[in-house]
Each structure stands twice: as C-alpha cells, then as structure tokens.
C-alpha cells in the first residue's frame, strides 16, 4: 500500500511517545511531529513509498548515481553528497524516518573507536570519520579498535527492470570492498535515526539528516547524522568502496530500494508495477559505459 506521510505523522508520534524521553527520543519525537521540517504537502516521491504486508518491508524510488568513483554514502537526497553516493532519492529524510519508526525500529548505537591500551584516545586525533593516520598525533591502526554499530536495523535490496529482464540484489552485492577483493559483507544496516541540530546561519532547529541530505553511509561517520549506517568493522575504512558497476545499469537509472526486516529471497510481487522499464541490455556498450 502507499504511505501517506501526513496521515502517519501523528500516529507515529504517539507510538514513539510511549518510550522513555531520552535526548535521542526527544529528537525523534520532534522529527515525527514535524517541527521546522514538517511536510506541507505530499510530493510524488513521497506518495510512492510502499509498505509490504504487516510492514515487513518498505520500498522507495531511487536513482543510480556514482558507479565509477569512491563511495562514502549509499543513499542521499539531491542536496546531499551526490558526488560520492551510490543512490539518491527525492524522499525527504524526515518522511523516511517516520516510515522506519512505523516499522517498529528504535535508534541503535553508532560506531565507536576505543584505544587498545589503558590510555584513552586523544579527542584531537578523532576526525569526522574517527582516527585517521597522517598527522603526528594520529594513532596507528593497531593502537585502537573499532566497535561497529549495534541495534535495530534493516536489510537493504535494490530492484530494477531492463526490457523484459528483472533484477533484484542485496545492496551489499552491488558495493565492492577493495581490500577484501569481494563485495561488501552482507549484514543488517543499523538504524540511527539521526537527531535534531541547529542550522549554522539561522540557528533554527533542523533534523540533521534533512539538513545534510545524507541518509545512509558506507564508511563510518562519527556524528551519526544519517538514518541508517553500515555495521561491519571494515566500514571504518575510507577510499575502499566502489560500485559493482558490472552488475548495474547506466547512471541515472530509476530503481526501487527495498528496506526489509528480514532478508528477502526474491523481489516482492507488489513492486512490479512500480518499476520503471529501462532500455533493454544492449549487446554493445553505451557511450556512458565505454568511458
């Protein structure tokens, strides 16, 4: 069925309000109630959010972006880091966050970096993505350990159609891990839920994921501003993630990103009508692919 964002905001706020009022839950409640980011009218992209039976899965329309350069994100809004993201979507972060809460998710814990010895890590050595070599004060990789994100999460899948052929993959299978010379390990992406922050220029409270436009990260980020994060230790690495371009259609292709509570073995039949039919796979490479 279609998710009608404006109709779901109030019920989801009541659902979340039953939990303890931690700082993060207050931020979530503000996001659900709308606040400065309240959706004023339903856009076509928001109208196309689809829940599966019993809210076991959720699908949103996305567009394929970066296929031949390093990835730091897997999903962004158009004003986010599109130049380093596999996918983009017009669905606003706050609307998507409301849908995740409607599926029963609660925010988990972001990645952490801890010293292996008795001395804690010097905060001055922690950049936006944790400890990084290069500076004189930066710890060596064997001096700290990565504690991956934990908590509620979802399994991600990507669906599209080319001519008469249908494609359905786990999202990890479409991301290359250069160090391991394999694809990203399959795992559950942990729900962080972002948080409320202040816009620098105006001081206005904003939902961080909506403000930054970054929804799912590939490499870990210390601030935890995204809605979902990868959750395996090797995602501590930078400049290590590329699209598995041999399996993907041309850049700019329309697809459906499916978030599921359990791994899906096949594409839900309900998605068939929502897939844009892309040109059939060509025997000769297109100009875009030949570059």
Q: What is the mean pLDDT of residues 87-112?
A: 97
- At 114, the pLDDT band (50, 70, 90 cuts) reads confident
- At 16, the pLDDT band (50, 70, 90 cuts) reads very low
Query: What average pLDDT is seen over the chain?
Result: 82
User: pLDDT (tens digit, 9 = 90+) per residue, 159-214?
Assistant: 999 999 999 999 999 999 999 999 999 999 999 999 999 887 888 899 999 999 99
pTM of the predicted model as reported, rounded to 2 decimal places: 0.81
Q: What is the mean pLDDT of residues 57-70?
A: 98
Q: What integer pLDDT is reported at residue 116 of this predicted model?
A: 77
User: pLDDT (tens digit, 9 = 90+) per residue, 36-55?
Assistant: 333 334 445 555 899 999 99
Sign of the CA dihedral running 277, 100, 81, 186? negative
Contact between 89 and 215 (Cβ < 8 Å): yes
Residue 30 sits at the vertex; the CA angle it makes with 28 and 31, to the nearest 5 degrees, is 65
Torsion of CA 247, 87, 180, 149, to 10 degrees: -140
pLDDT > 50? residue 142? yes
> Cα-flanking dihedrals φ and ψ of residue 9, to 5°?
-60, -50
Q: What is the mean pLDDT of residues 134-157?
A: 80
User: pLDDT (tens digit, 9 = 90+) per residue, 242-288?
Assistant: 999 999 999 999 999 999 999 999 999 999 988 999 999 776 666 65
* β-pairing verdict for 153-162 and 277-278: parallel
Q: What integer pLDDT is reported at residue 5 of this predicted model?
A: 35
Q: What integer pLDDT is reported at residue 17 of this predicted model?
A: 30
Q: What is the mean pLDDT of residues 219-224?
A: 93
User: What is the percent of the chain with per-residue pLDDT over 70, rounded to a whole number?
Assistant: 72
**Of 118-127, 137-146, 228-237, 265-274, minimum mean pLDDT range:** 118-127
Q: Which of 99, 96, 71 is nearest to 85 (CA)?
A: 71
- At 289, the pLDDT band (50, 70, 90 cuts) reads low
């Amino acid at each position: 069925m279609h998710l009608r964002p404006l109709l779901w905001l109030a019920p989801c706020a009541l659902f979340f309000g039953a939990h303890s009022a931690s700082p993060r839950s207050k931020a979530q409640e503000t996001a659900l109630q709308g606040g400065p980011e309240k959706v004023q009218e339903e856009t076509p992209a928001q109208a196309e959010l689809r829940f599966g039976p019993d809210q076991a899965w959720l699908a949103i329309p996305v567009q394929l972006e970066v296929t031949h350069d390093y990835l730091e994100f897997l999903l962004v809004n158009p004003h986010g880091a599109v130049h380093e993201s596999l996918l983009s979507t017009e669905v606003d972060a706050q609307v998507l966050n409301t849908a995740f809460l409607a599926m029963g998710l609660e925010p988990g814990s972001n990645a952490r970096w801890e010293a292996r010895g008795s001395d804690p890590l010097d905060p001055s050595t922690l950049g936006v993505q944790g400890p990084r070599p290069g500076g004189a004060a930066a710890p060596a990789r064997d001096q700290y350990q990565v504690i991956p994100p934990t908590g509620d999460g979802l399994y991600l899948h990507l669906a599209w159609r080319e001519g008469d052929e249908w494609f359905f993959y786990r999202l990890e299978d479409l991301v290359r891990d250069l160090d391991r010379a394999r694809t990203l390990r399959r795992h559950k992406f942990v729900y962080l839920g972002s948080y409320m922050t202040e816009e620098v220029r105006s001081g206005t409270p904003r939902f961080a994921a909506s403000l930054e436009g970054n929804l799912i990260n590939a490499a870990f980020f210390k601030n935890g501003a995204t809605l979902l994060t990868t959750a395996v230790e090797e995602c501590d690495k930078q400049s290590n993630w590329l699209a598995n371009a041999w399996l993907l259609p041309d850049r700019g292709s329309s697809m459906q990103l499916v978030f599921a509570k359990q791994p899906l073995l096949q594409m839900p039949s309900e998605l068939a009508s929502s897939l844009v039919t892309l040109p059939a796979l060509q025997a000769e490479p297109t100009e875009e692919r030949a570059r």
